[in-house]
Structure formats: structure tokens, C-alpha cells
Amino acid sequence: MPKIYTQEEIEQRLDGHPDWTLGADGQLHADLTFANFMEAMMFANAVAHLAQAADHHPDLLIHQYKKLSISLITHSEGCITERDFALLDQIDALPRFK
């Protein structure tokens, strides 16, 4: 059974991740802005590759042509687990375009 994190524990874990927040829906959210549509798509595809390798699939939304919204939760558990933080760390390690 995976560890169930309290809201306080989640917020502490997010301290080093300024792009991420805990939403009222119980999911981890990041809203990223890129220079253009192609950069947003390339980053989303990189996230998709990481997620597929981890068998852990976030919700990804490209909107306003250069913005990417990511939502993470362990769907099978209905809460945030270590799997979410592991994928979040990998996403944050991806290079960003400047």
C-alpha cells in the first residue's frame, strides 16, 4: 500500500518545485509557458515519454498555443503518492527552452 501524504507533507515536498502547486482537486499542477507552440509540444512529448516509461500518466493540456498544464495524481489510489513525486522530479529535470 503506498504512503498517503497529508496536505502539509505534500506542500513541504513542493518547496523545491516552484512551478508546482497542490490544487483544491487534490492533484499536483504545473502551468508552464514556452516561447512558442513547438517548444510546448516538444516538452509535452518529453513528459509523455517519461510517463510512459514509468507507467504513470499525467493529464497534459496545451492551450493558448504555448502553454502546457500538467496535472499529476495516482489515479488508482485517488491521491498523491511517491509515484507522483518521482515523475515530478523527472519532469523538473527536463531542459527548458529559453
Predicted local distance difference test score (pLDDT) of residue 3:
81
Position 59 in a domain:
yes
Predicted local distance difference test score (pLDDT) of residue 98:
60
Split into its structural domains, the chain has a count of: 1
Residuewise pLDDT in 10s, the chain (98 residues): 778 899 999 999 999 999 999 999 999 999 999 999 999 999 999 999 999 999 999 999 999 999 999 999 999 999 999 999 999 999 999 998 76
Position 31 in a domain:
no
Position 21 in a domain:
no
Position 95 in a domain:
yes
Position 74 in a domain:
yes
- Provide the CATH number for the domain around residue 96: 3.30.1360.20
Q: Is 84 within 8 Å of 9 (Cβ atoms)?
A: no
Residues of the domain holding 46: 38-98
Q: Is 47 within 8 Å of 58 (Cβ atoms)?
A: yes
Task: Determine which helix (DSSP H) or strand (DSSP E) holds 30, and give its type and residue range.
Answer: strand 28-33
Short-list 87, 68, 94, 63, CA closest to 13? 87
Position 32 in a domain:
no
